């Protein structure tokens, strides 16, 4: 079973930060999951929330701030004073860091009011520019529109369909885009769900698993996302 660092090592480091990614590398993790979305000036940055309020000393929406404005904010001090001065990473910076360290990335594309196609075109441009190995990337989203556009724009990349629960709509989307995996909330997933999906050719990755005892009930998973990956590396 693959242990994926959720937003790096988010239990001990500021989520989605360079420090958090480096901690995952230090642990020897093969995979890390991060969230990406565009700035006002159309640069993809690594951040989960659509605002900077929770994870920085600033306020406002990511898509209403330029990269220059975002780079002036502190994305570490909110978590602990040990991380004062952490700046937001661009996807381009993350891809470079991952390539140097042979780290594989699950890039979750976040949208709310954004134009799905425009964001996916930006993802495509950024990945093509970085000349990444497609085998080291999985693209995922809760948005069916994003998944469909990524399937059209980046047909050779692995796609993970994200959902809280396994539903008929999710199964249909998996088939439509020939997805690599179905990424589900572990709280609403059981062994039967996992076995059914695997029998149809999909991997099953579950989020966010922080208690190793939970795996007694989900021992057939392909991968888990965890804020505390070291707990699963014993």
Is residue 120 situated within a structural domain?
Answer: yes
pLDDT tens digits, one per residue of 120-130? 999 999 999 99
Q: What is the phi/psi pair of residue 50, to 5°?
A: -80, -10
Helix (H, G, I), strand (E, B) or coil at 3: strand
Q: Which two tokens stand for residue 191?
A: 């062994």
CA-based Rg of the chain, rounded to a whole angstrom? 17
Is residue 171 situated within a structural domain?
Answer: yes
Confidence (pLDDT) at 99: 97
Task: Check which CATH number belongs to the domain holding 127 and give it.
Answer: 3.20.20.190
As a whole number of angstroms, the distance between CA 232 and CA 212 comes to 6
Is residue 58 situated within a structural domain?
Answer: no
For residues 176, 181, 186, 187, the Cα torsion angle rounded to the nearest 10 degrees is: 0
When divided into structural domains, the chain yields a total of 1
Q: Which two tokens stand for residue 177?
A: 């885009």
Is residue 78 situated within a structural domain?
Answer: no
Domain with 133 in it: 2-52+90-232
pLDDT tens digits, one per residue of 69-109? 999 999 999 999 999 999 999 999 999 999 999 999 999 99
Is residue 70 situated within a structural domain?
Answer: no
pLDDT tens digits, one per residue of 59-74? 999 999 999 999 999 9
Q: Which two tokens stand for residue 44?
A: 């993809």
pLDDT tens digits, one per residue of 25-64? 999 999 999 999 999 999 999 999 999 999 999 999 999 9
How deeply is 97 buried, as exposed, middle or buried, from its count of CB atoms within 10 A (0-12, 13-18, 19+)? middle
Q: How confident is the model at residue 158 (pLDDT cuts 50, 70, 90)?
A: very high
As a whole number of angstroms, the distance between CA 137 and CA 121 comes to 16
Which own/partner contact pairs does 111-114 have at CB distance under 8 Å and 24+ positions apart?
Answer: 111/37, 111/141, 111/143, 111/145, 111/146, 112/50, 114/37, 114/38, 114/63
Is residue 75 situated within a structural domain?
Answer: no
Q: Measured on CA atoms in the order 225, 226, 227, 232, is the torsion positive or negative?
A: negative
Is residue 81 situated within a structural domain?
Answer: no
């Amino acid at each position: 079973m693959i242990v994926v660092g959720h937003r790096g090592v988010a239990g001990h480091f500021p989520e989605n930060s360079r420090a958090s990614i480096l901690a995952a590398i230090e642990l020897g993790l093969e995979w890390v999951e991060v969230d990406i979305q565009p700035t006002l000036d159309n640069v993809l940055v690594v951040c989960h929330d659509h605002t900077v309020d929770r994870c920085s000393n600033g306020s406002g929406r990511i898509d209403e701030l330029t990269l220059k404005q975002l780079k002036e904010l502190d994305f570490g001090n909110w978590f602990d004073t040990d991380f004062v001065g952490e700046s937001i990473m661009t996807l381009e910076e993350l891809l470079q860091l991952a390539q140097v360290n042979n780290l594989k990335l699950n890039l979750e594309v976040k949208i709310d009011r954004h134009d799905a196609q425009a964001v996916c075109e930006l993802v495509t441009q950024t990945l093509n520019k970085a000349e990444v190995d497609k085998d080291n990337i999985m693209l995922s989203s809760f948005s069916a529109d994003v998944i469909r556009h990524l399937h059209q724009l980046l047909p050779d990349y692995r796609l993970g369909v994200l959902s809280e629960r396994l539903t008929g709509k999710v199964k249909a989307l998996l088939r439509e885009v020939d997805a690599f995996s179905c990424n589900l909330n572990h709280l609403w997933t059981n062994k039967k769900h996992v076995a059914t999906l695997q029998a149809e050719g999909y991997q099953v990755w579950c989020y966010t698993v922080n208690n190793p005892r939970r795996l007694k009930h989900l021992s057939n998973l392909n991968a888990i996302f965890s804020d505390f990956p070291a707990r699963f590396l014993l």
